[in-house]
């Protein structure tokens, strides 16, 4: 999808909370563009809202807990994973308690409901963050590591080691997000019997049972201890000598536990705030390292809020210099766009190679050649003119003229040898021959100048 999305309608799911055992209802609602994911505690005075972003994670010991002030919402990762994997960008989630219902311990119920209500495109463009270089976060104490590498789509691989003969080392991968519903969403959460008693002592997993988790009994304890745990979980007694899996439903896959870890990673990646194009490789993942990685990604995005277009000089341009001369009246030395490499209904990407032979370097400046800022804006505007002309019939018979320039910023010098990339977007539909645009000039990954400008399109006499 090239546009942001939301739900076509609302849906609700009811069940008990994993940790509190409370009867809970979570409702997913459509939201406008650029809304993101927000979670509202409708059971509290004022119905406070928490932004579902990595900075608002307050605990990662048993699931991802989002918080703001005294407001807490836990077990959010399964619902967020379904939204993120199905490509939904905006959603208001309302819950009548401190956690999402555990349901069957997976994300499949969310996926099924989203499929029922459908997904709707919005007017705003989808705001992908494209990975351009390797980013890695490690935890030396746990041996956990998450690495993301450049890739054309979002994909993920998880490798786990649990120090157990039943699930000692496992591997799971999701290469295409459209396979999430079938390959990952049904994977249930899991717990070792050895960890149940500490959780119960911490007043947690009151809503846990053999219907919403995989329970792994792989270190023998006494019959009395096992019977006591079974009574606390309202489960039937079993022979303490029989090790293995003791949940009601058999494993869906032999590596179901690692597939659930992969599901959790996707849910925690939803806290980045933007859809990602890149490949994640996660070793010994968990909510703590997941959140640490999501926070690092948030920092990277803030440093590159506007990303430079991808430029491959081996690809044929959509417009070469000859076609540009047919559309624009500019000629040497004022033709400042060499080619167009991307063109859509509302955006365009152009290229200019800056050489030492540019005539303006003779006087600007002889000892320190720097491209004048006004010419960077002129080049950007020429690119915008090509975008506007692309929307009319017989574009050769029209010209565009500046009416206004605002919010101009120059961030760094442009010098001989630089390759300029111009990215220009329409801010609103063209009305009465008037168009407003926002443009950026990049060298490499860095913005060197930017401006908002208004132009008029006029038919030639």
- Tell me which of 35, 304, 330, 364 is the catalytic residue: 364
The total of other beta-carbon atoms located within 10 Å of residue 185's CB is 23
165, burial (CB in 10 Å: exposed 0-12, middle 13-18, buried 19+)? exposed
- Is 287 annotated in the active site? yes
- Is 364 annotated in the active site? yes
- Tell me which of 78, 237, 287, 446 is the catalytic residue: 287
Residues designated as active site: 287, 364
């Amino acid at each position: 999808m090239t546009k942001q999305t939301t739900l076509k309608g609302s849906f609700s799911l009811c069940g008990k909370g994993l940790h509190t055992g409370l009867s809970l209802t979570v409702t997913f609602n459509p939201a406008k563009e650029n809304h993101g994911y927000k979670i509202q505690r409708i059971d509290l005075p004022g119905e406070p809202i928490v932004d579902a972003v990595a900075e608002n994670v307050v605990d990662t010991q048993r699931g991802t807990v989002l918080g703001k002030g005294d407001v807490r919402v836990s077990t959010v990762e399964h619902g967020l994973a379904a939204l993120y994997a199905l490509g939904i960008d905006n959603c208001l989630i309302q819950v009548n308690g401190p956690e999402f219902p555990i349901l069957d311990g997976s994300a499949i119920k969310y996926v099924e409901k989203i499929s029922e209500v459908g997904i709707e495109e919005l007017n705003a463009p989808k705001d992908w963050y494209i990975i351009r270089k390797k980013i890695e976060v490690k935890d030396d104490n746990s041996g956990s590591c998450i690495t993301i590498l450049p890739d054309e789509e979002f994909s993920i691989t998880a490798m786990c080691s649990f120090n157990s003969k039943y699930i000692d080392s496992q591997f799971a991968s999701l290469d295409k997000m459209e396979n999430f519903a079938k390959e990952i969403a049904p994977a249930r959460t899991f717990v070792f019997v050895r960890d149940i008693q500490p959780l119960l002592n911490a007043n947690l997993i009151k809503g846990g049972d053999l219907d919403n988790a995989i329970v792994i009994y792989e270190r023998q304890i006494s019959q009395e201890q096992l019977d006591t745990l079974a009574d606390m979980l309202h489960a039937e007694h079993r022979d303490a000598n029989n090790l293995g899996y003791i949940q009601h439903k058999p494993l869906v896959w032999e590596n179901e536990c690692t597939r659930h870890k992969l599901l959790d990673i996707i849910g925690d990646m939803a806290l980045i705030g933007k859809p990602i194009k890149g490949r994640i490789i996660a070793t010994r993942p968990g909510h703590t390292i997941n959140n640490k990685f999501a926070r690092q990604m948030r920092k990277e995005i803030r440093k590159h809020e506007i990303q430079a277009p991808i430029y491959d000089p081996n690809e044929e341009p959509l417009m070469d210099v000859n076609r540009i001369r047919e559309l624009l009246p500019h000629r040497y030395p004022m033709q400042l766009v060499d080619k167009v490499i991307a063109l859509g209904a509302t955006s365009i990407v152009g290229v200019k190679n800056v050489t030492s032979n540019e005539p303006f370097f003779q006087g600007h400046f002889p000892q320190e050649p720097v491209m004048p800022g006004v010419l960077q804006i002129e080049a950007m505007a020429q690119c915008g003119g090509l975008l506007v002309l692309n929307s009319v019939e017989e574009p050769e018979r029209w010209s565009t003229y500046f009416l206004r320039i605002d919010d101009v910023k120059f961030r760094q010098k442009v010098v001989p040898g630089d390759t300029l990339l111009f990215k220009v977007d329409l801010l609103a539909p063209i009305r009465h021959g008037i168009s407003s645009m926002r443009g950026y000039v990049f060298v490499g990954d860095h913005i060197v100048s930017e401006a908002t400008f208004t132009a008029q399109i006029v038919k030639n006499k």
